[in-house]
Structure 1
Amino acid sequence: MAAITVEETYDRVEEFIALLAAAELHASGAWEITFTEDMRAKFERYGPRTNLSAAQRQTLERIAKS
């Protein structure tokens, strides 16, 4: 499945911002920290038009809930 934008994925961009913040807070280990930092950098650059694959979304959700 192709990536779609944050604004297409979420009803409100604030939902993604909260998910990303939770993932950053709960990230442990080098890989998870780098992943969330990369997602933050992409979001800061592209905003709501940031591409987000299903795998990236699932990974953020998993990290946020851990």
Structure 2
Amino acid sequence: MKVEVDVPKCVASGQCVLLAPEVFDQRDDDGMVVLLDETPAPELHDGVRESALVCPAAAIRLVES
């Protein structure tokens, strides 16, 4: 799995950070998404998939291999 984020689309809801904190973080100044790991380990995939599903801005894109 490869994770891509569209930062300009992000609305800083933080759901991704709550669901997959090993993969996503938020900038301190504006809360926008920060991608920590674009190729997360398989044990993190479920949280990353859920993050993409619940993102209110659809700013997370997953490329499944």
Task: Please give the TM-score of this superposition, normalised by the length of structure 2.
Answer: 0.36
Task: Please give the TM-score of this superposition, normalised by the length of structure 1.
Answer: 0.36
Richer in helix (by share): 1
Richer in strand (by share): 2
